Amino acid sequence: MKILRTFLFVSALFIFCQSFGQNFILQETNVKKNLTQCINLAKKSALVLLKKQTAYTIPFSTKCTLTAVAITRLSEKFSVVFPKENTGKGDERVIERPFADERNQIVKLMYGFMAKGQTTTTNFAQVIVYFDNSGTSPQINDIQVKNKVDLGIITLTSREILKLTEPEPKPVTKPVAKPATKPVAKPTTKPSAKKKS
């Protein structure tokens, strides 16, 4: 009975401590053309790897060499290394970092979890998407998945930590204006003249 109590206490303490952290997305990009579309495609690629969408929802380039087997392997790796604390519901804070690569058009999305009071983490999964931007809309050339084995420890700068800890600005809501309505014209009636008797 003591062992069960101890186990439950330690489990509750672990869950309580884990709740004092922050999910984040470290977004690195060097795309100059169709940036928003490329970022959205990279996010869709992450959803495909998490098996929340099908691979048919993202456009692959004719130069792409990824096969269905390769996408399945990438999906298995990404699902295993994806932080368990991250729900993937879009509640993550986004931290942007630029990087230079003259030859490729790349978007890197690192989904991570940072414990409170820490500046480093190994609890992350990164999806790297290479794009072909030669046409009117971007297409995917290649997808890679990396984790702590490939990249080691990730350290955030003090400015990036501030983005995680400061509260999100609340959107300013404007008072709802009532639609302009024309006043209803009252029928004008002429007062009838009284007869004098």
Domain ranges of the chain: 18-165
Angle at 100 between CA 112 and CA 23, to 5 degrees: 10
**Token pair belonging to 181:** 């309505």
Q: How confident is the model at residue 18 (pLDDT cuts 50, 70, 90)?
A: very low
Taking residues 31-35, what's their average pLDDT?
Answer: 84
Q: What is the pLDDT of residue 23?
A: 86
pLDDT, position 158: 85
**At 125, is the pLDDT very low, low, confident or very high (cuts 50, 70, 90)?**
very high
Give me the chain's average pLDDT, please: 80
Question: Do 83 and 113 form a contact (C-beta atoms < 8 A)?
Answer: yes
Strand partners, 129: 107, 143
pTM: 0.70
**Tens of pLDDT, residues 86-115:** 766 666 788 888 887 777 888 999 998 888
**Which helix (H) or strand (E) is 127 found in, with range?**
strand 124-132
